[in-house]
A and B are shown apart, each in its own frame.
Chain A
Amino acid sequence: MSVKVGLEIHQMLDTREKLFCSCPTSLRRDEPHSRFRRWLRLARSELGELDPAALFEYMKGKSYLYESYVGGTCLVEMDEEPPHQLNLEALEIALTVCLMLNCKVVDEVHVMRKIVIDGSNTTGFQRTALIGFDGYVEIEGKKVPIATVCLEEDAARKIEERGSEVVYRLDRLGIPLVEIATGPTISSPEEAGAVALRIGQLLRATGRMKRGLGTIRQDLNISVEGGARVEVKGVQELELIPKVVEMEVQRQRTLLEIRDELRRREVSREQLEVKPVEVTDVFRGTSSRIAKKALASGGVALAVKLPGFARLLGRELQPGRRLGTEMADRARYWADVGGIFHSDELPGYGISEDEVNEVRRLLNCGELDAFVLVFEERRKAERAVEAVVERAREALEGVPPETRAANPDGTTRFLRPMPGKARMYPETDIRPIVVGEELLARVRGLLPEPPEAKYERFVRVYGLSPELARKLLRSYRLDLFERIVSTIGAPPSLVASTLEDTLIDLRREGAPVQNVTDEHLMELFELFARGGLVKEAIPLVLKRLAENPELEPEEAVKQLGLTPLSLEEAREAVRRILNRMESLIKERGEAAFGPAMGAVMRELRGRVDGALLSRIVREELTKVVGGS
């Protein structure tokens, strides 16, 4: 059975300003300065088709509270001022990406509006512009098509959801993103991972991408033969991609098996025109806490028969996720209920066998029939049952096309129905930009070095080991490495091993290395270049900085007592230590070097370069030995 996967990669650009205004592109940690409340209203979809996802968000009647910052956000993010001209720095980066991905480039950039009515954009739409199309990346000789490269504005950050209100922060809204969509031709989980890795490397090679958590997001379109296109949103870690694909394939295949089983059992759509039956009386004396609580607050118990579904609701689709789980996801989404119970998991959760049998009797369930139970306020319960039955009907078709979200373990959960097609319409507030030959020539002239050339240079010119060079090319600290080496002139292998080995070792030891900033590292190597610390001191200083990120490296060095000794001071200190060991040295002669070096290192580690220290010890030892 064949699998088709398409990738959609969203990468934040490290521009000075946002895509449609001049606000900074950094996220804030401090409390916002002001808040305002809005509603969104579905405008008549100007191109015809109404978008079910958008319509549903609208129907929910949500209000949105936006948080803004003086000095961080302006009227453009607040939708109180029309967008400014598209950021040309962002356009240049997007063009660079297009050329690296062998894309054709549009003659004119037309900004479009994509309706997104969940409140994550104050306008109710996301602005997006097609920049390139019809390109490819090469992975081990195979050309994987790049369908489109778009420039988009990032959405606002969701802070919390309280009842019918969603709180968003505006700092992220408007940060430029490139969105790269591959064709749906990837045919295995491993290939999906490799393509994502390759595109990620090419993006990093530009040196103009933001780094760190949340700056890259991968969406996957996955379908198995005979299934349907399922969109999986928000895979944050590259490493997770193969796993998500694998698990989604497993889910879709199992759903197809369930479909086949339902066909064998001759379950028809007509049989699923089922209505719920109220079974509140069955649970008057129940010991199920959930049921008791719902009934006590005026709720009802509704049950619905699912003919022919026995033992299929409990069928595992992904680890810990069953067809019943998918029904519960739907019920939660459409009816905002806590959950449902299905007959494959009952008796259980405090619901007794007698109660189960009574429900089965009331529903007239045969041996092959399943049922679903909901304890809720009546209106919600009815909507929940409707959502469950709808999902059961979809099971007859196999895989429902839908948008799902990736869980951290690689499984996926229902997010929302697949958005409709007619979501785009022109952004009338922004004039089209002509992509002239002059601009393209400039971008072409500044194309970054491709990853292969970088690798070669790292090994040949910088003398890095192939392993370290490979690590760097995968690392999000690649730009930092180049910056430190080129601007400070620090030794490449020391910088590389500090960034790729030392920091990882420190993290394994439990140091909070995420606190170490680029500025820390830059200053650290500047200090090193000035002779302000020796390389043996680097891990110790980094550990101190991780634990006390407010420190500057120079201060950390001082606190740790790691200020380097001058040659004279070092020699003086070595003499002092060797003097204490005089009898041992006299006894063993040159063979005393080991213990002598050990004693010296105990006192002077991190204050004198190791190689230099070893030379001094040898010289002084020879003097002591010879002097006897």
Chain B
Amino acid sequence: MPHPGSPAPPPAPQTGLPRVHFIGTGGTIASRIDYVSGAVYPHFTAEDIYSMIPELESVAIITAETLFSIFSEDMTPQHWALLAERVAKVFESDGPAGVVVAHGTDTMGYTAAALAFALRRLPGPVVLVGAQRSSDRPSSDSATNVLAAAVTAVKAPFAESVVAMHAGLDDTKFYVHRGVKVRKMHTSRRDAFRSVNAVPLAKVELPSRDLVVFAREYAPRSKEGVVLENGFDEKVALVKFYPGMDPEILDFLVDRGYHGVVVEGTGLGHVGEKLVPSVRRAVEEEVAVVVASQCIWGRVNLNVYRRGVELLKAGAIPAEDMLPETAYVKLSWVLARTRDLREVAKLLLTSVAFEIDKRSEEWYYPPLSYFEKFAAGGSQ
């Protein structure tokens, strides 16, 4: 029985188009509010997607399923594993050109990184997509983001876990970010997602549907089967250092049997001196300690200042130019493979999904001078 107000059934998609599989996990993009009952319910059938975005009929033949219906902040490493498994299965059994995952934007970066680590080889891209404005409003970015994601699923030469979202305020340009390098950098803007310590892999333009690749290196679509190395250790924490932080916070995690901790340090990767003994103790008790930076942009370097050297000596592992969130997901993934700290350090510092770039290029960090073009006019 169709929902009251459902539009006429969409025309059948053109045959001979590539296939794209949609997986709904919840979030703004996939939910609808029933204003009569006030209930929010997931709604993610192929018919729904076509009727929301009729343009897709000429992009791809769509199949769809709802895997979860949860807010993205309720995602857990278990969900990552279930999702990775499902994506692997879809590629193996149905052979779509790509998979699009509709996901709440808040933790989309974490899930994208998790999929990147778990799905070691893919025949096509996994494109995560979300919406910053709910799809019940005419100005929602969901339809155009989904369209851009579908174009990416069909056209991208790379077969990685990526995020496709608005590139700016316009509804005409979208960036495809590498899952391990993307971070939600704004609470509400359509262009909240940014590649950090990297530039986007590609852009998609609408309405032309052109895809332009920026990346020089990527994992191409594989003709061989999917390689899935699934599983995440849930005994991993991500803690932010702050001035005055009590070392007991770290001790607590060790006492509670955690296997690993990512510490978001200051600057090049520092923490207060009181924490150093706690780090040493953690490592002695076989708990991996990874140091990332709360600067977000730039690379961790523990050789420059004395505190860094002390941390290194205590056994901390620098996260290089990985985002703290990516370091956290990776540590969780690594600890599910090995608990041997030597192996952990080795694997953590090996780039397995382009998450570590040995070279920090100038254009990775957006110039601040952007505001000046407004300053001249704005001050009058």
Q: Does A576 reach chain B (CB closer than 8 Å)? A: no
The answer for the CA separation of A71 and B377 in the assembled complex, in Å, is 10
Partner of A70 from B139, B188, B377 at Cβ < 8 Å:
B377
Q: A123 and B6: CB pair below 8 A?
A: no
Residues of B within 8 Å of A30, CB to CB, are: 377, 380
The answer for the CA separation of A251 and B139 in the assembled complex, in Å, is 38
Residue of A41, A75, A426, A428 with most chain B CB atoms under a 10 A cut-off:
A41
Q: Does B140 reach chain A (CB closer than 8 Å)? A: yes
Q: Does B284 reach chain A (CB closer than 8 Å)? A: no
Q: Does A44 reach chain B (CB closer than 8 Å)? A: yes
Residues of B315-373 whose CB lies within 8 A of A: 373
The answer for the CA separation of A81 and B140 in the assembled complex, in Å, is 12
Q: Does A49 reach chain B (CB closer than 8 Å)? A: yes
Residues of B100-141 whose CB lies within 8 A of A: 132-140
Residues of B within 8 Å of A78, CB to CB, are: 169
Residues of A30-58 whose CB lies within 8 A of B: 30-31, 33-34, 36-50
Instruction: Scan A417-443; emit 1 where CB is below 8 A from any B CB, else 0.
Output: 000000001101000000000000000
Residues of A within 8 Å of B52, CB to CB, are: 41, 44
Residues of B33-90 whose CB lies within 8 A of A: 33-36, 51-52
If A39-B144, A70-B374, A71-B378 touch, whether A44 touches B139 (CB-CB below 8 Å) is: no
Q: A50 and B7: CB pair below 8 A?
A: yes
The answer for the CA separation of A414 and B115 in the assembled complex, in Å, is 56
If A46-B35, A47-B5, A70-B378 touch, whether A38 touches B135 (CB-CB below 8 Å) is: no
Residues of A within 8 Å of B259, CB to CB, are: none
Query: How near does chain B come to A448, taking the closest CB pair, in angstroms?
Result: 36
Q: B377 and A33: CB pair below 8 A?
A: yes
Q: A124 and B188: CB pair below 8 A?
A: no
Instruction: Scan A260-271; emit 1 where CB is below 8 A from any B CB, else 0.
Output: 000000000000
Q: A80 and B188: CB pair below 8 A?
A: yes
Q: Does A391 reach chain B (CB closer than 8 Å)? A: no
Partner of B139 from A47, A71, A79 at Cβ < 8 Å:
A79
Query: How near does chain B come to A383, taking the closest CB pair, in angstroms?
Result: 20
The answer for the CA separation of A509 and B33 in the assembled complex, in Å, is 62
Residues of B within 8 Å of A425, CB to CB, are: 35, 136
Residues of B129-172 whose CB lies within 8 A of A: 132-140, 143-144, 168-172
If A46-B33, A125-B137 touch, whether A37 touches B171 (CB-CB below 8 Å) is: yes
Residues of B within 8 Å of A79, CB to CB, are: 133, 139
Residues of B within 8 Å of A81, CB to CB, are: 187-189
Q: Does B4 reach chain A (CB closer than 8 Å)? A: yes
Residues of A107-127 whose CB lies within 8 A of B: 113, 115, 117, 122-125
If A44-B7, A425-B35, A428-B33 touch, whether A124 touches B377 (CB-CB below 8 Å) is: no
If A46-B33, A47-B35, A75-B189 touch, whether A122 touches B5 (CB-CB below 8 Å) is: no
Residues of A309-364 whose CB lies within 8 A of B: none
Instruction: Scan A119-144; emit 1 where CB is below 8 A from any B CB, else 0.
Output: 00011110000000000000000000
Partner of B170 from A37, A47, A124 at Cβ < 8 Å:
A37
Residues of B within 8 Å of A125, CB to CB, are: 137-138
Q: A36 and B139: CB pair below 8 A?
A: no
Q: Does B190 reach chain A (CB closer than 8 Å)? A: yes
Q: B380 and A117: CB pair below 8 A?
A: no
Q: A117 and B189: CB pair below 8 A?
A: no
Query: How near does chain A come to B372, taking the closest CB pair, in angstroms?
Result: 11
Q: B140 and A43: CB pair below 8 A?
A: yes
Partner of A124 from B32, B139, B189 at Cβ < 8 Å:
B139
The answer for the CA separation of A69 and B138 in the assembled complex, in Å, is 23
The answer for the CA separation of A124 and B135 in the assembled complex, in Å, is 12
Residues of B within 8 Å of A82, CB to CB, are: 188
If A37-B170, A46-B33, A117-B138 touch, whether A80 touches B144 (CB-CB below 8 Å) is: no
> Dominant SS at the B interface?
loop
The answer for the CA separation of A34 and B36 in the assembled complex, in Å, is 40
The answer for the CA separation of A78 and B191 in the assembled complex, in Å, is 13
Query: How near does chain A come to B61, taking the closest CB pair, in angstroms?
Result: 22
With an 8 Å Cβ cutoff, the count of chain A residues facing the other chain is 39
The residue in chain B whose Cβ has the minimal distance to the Cβ of A69 is B378
Residues of B within 8 Å of A124, CB to CB, are: 137-139
The residue in chain B whose Cβ has the minimal distance to the Cβ of A71 is B378
The residue in chain A whose Cβ has the minimal distance to the Cβ of B132 is A80
Q: B144 and A43: CB pair below 8 A?
A: no
The answer for the CA separation of A158 and B70 in the assembled complex, in Å, is 41
The answer for the CA separation of A335 and B364 in the assembled complex, in Å, is 49
Residues of A within 8 Å of B172, CB to CB, are: 37
Partner of B5 from A31, A44, A63, A75 at Cβ < 8 Å:
A44
Residue of B33, B34, B139, B168 with most chain A CB atoms under a 10 A cut-off:
B139
The answer for the CA separation of A134 and B378 in the assembled complex, in Å, is 46
Q: A115 and B377: CB pair below 8 A?
A: no
Residues of A448-464 whose CB lies within 8 A of B: none
The residue in chain B whose Cβ has the minimal distance to the Cβ of A54 is B138
Q: B138 and A42: CB pair below 8 A?
A: yes
Q: A41 and B140: CB pair below 8 A?
A: yes
Q: A40 and B138: CB pair below 8 A?
A: yes
Q: B170 and A36: CB pair below 8 A?
A: yes
The answer for the CA separation of A293 and B187 in the assembled complex, in Å, is 55
Residues of B within 8 Å of A49, CB to CB, are: 5
Residues of B within 8 Å of A50, CB to CB, are: 5, 7
Residues of B within 8 Å of A36, CB to CB, are: 168-170
If A33-B374, A40-B139, A125-B138 touch, whether A45 touches B190 (CB-CB below 8 Å) is: no
Q: B136 and A46: CB pair below 8 A?
A: yes
The answer for the CA separation of A80 and B51 in the assembled complex, in Å, is 25
Residues of A within 8 Å of B6, CB to CB, are: 44
Residue of B32, B36, B138 with most chain A CB atoms under a 10 A cut-off:
B138
The residue in chain B whose Cβ has the minimal distance to the Cβ of A425 is B35
If A48-B4, A113-B137 touch, whether A41 touches B378 (CB-CB below 8 Å) is: no
Partner of A41 from B143, B168, B189 at Cβ < 8 Å:
B143
The answer for the CA separation of A45 and B33 in the assembled complex, in Å, is 11
Q: A43 and B135: CB pair below 8 A?
A: yes
The answer for the CA separation of A428 and B373 in the assembled complex, in Å, is 36
The answer for the CA separation of A49 and B134 in the assembled complex, in Å, is 20
Query: How near does chain B come to A210, taking the closest CB pair, in angstroms?
Result: 23
Query: How near does chain A come to B364, taking the closest CB pair, in angstroms?
Result: 24
Partner of B35 from A42, A115, A426 at Cβ < 8 Å:
A426
The answer for the CA separation of A428 and B378 in the assembled complex, in Å, is 33
Q: B143 and A48: CB pair below 8 A?
A: no
Query: How near does chain B come to A622, taking the closest CB pair, in angstroms?
Result: 60
Q: B138 and A80: CB pair below 8 A?
A: no
Query: How near does chain B come to A82, taking the closest CB pair, in angstroms?
Result: 6
If A425-B35, A426-B35 touch, whether A122 touches B139 (CB-CB below 8 Å) is: yes
The answer for the CA separation of A34 and B137 in the assembled complex, in Å, is 24
Instruction: Scan B165-201; emit 1 where CB is below 8 A from any A CB, else 0.
Output: 0001111100000000000000111100000000000
Residues of B within 8 Å of A70, CB to CB, are: 374-375, 377-378
Residues of A within 8 Å of B135, CB to CB, are: 43
The residue in chain B whose Cβ has the minimal distance to the Cβ of A116 is B138
Query: How near does chain A come to B374, taking the closest CB pair, in angstroms?
Result: 4
The answer for the CA separation of A33 and B372 in the assembled complex, in Å, is 11
Residues of A within 8 Å of B4, CB to CB, are: 48
The answer for the CA separation of A75 and B187 in the assembled complex, in Å, is 11
Residues of B6-45 whose CB lies within 8 A of A: 6-7, 32-36
Residues of A within 8 Å of B36, CB to CB, are: 47
Closest 3 CB pairs of A and B: A124-B138, A70-B378, A36-B169
26 residue pairs bridging A and B, Cβ less than 8 Å apart: A30-B377, A36-B170, A37-B170, A37-B171, A37-B172, A38-B171, A40-B139, A41-B138, A43-B135, A43-B140, A44-B6, A46-B35, A46-B136, A47-B5, A48-B4, A48-B5, A69-B378, A70-B375, A79-B133, A80-B169, A115-B138, A122-B139, A123-B138, A124-B137, A425-B136, A428-B134
A40-B139, A45-B5, A71-B378 known; 18 new pairs, CB 8 Å cut-off, are A31-B377, A34-B374, A38-B170, A40-B138, A41-B138, A42-B138, A43-B138, A43-B140, A44-B51, A46-B33, A46-B35, A46-B136, A78-B169, A80-B132, A81-B188, A124-B137, A124-B139, A428-B33
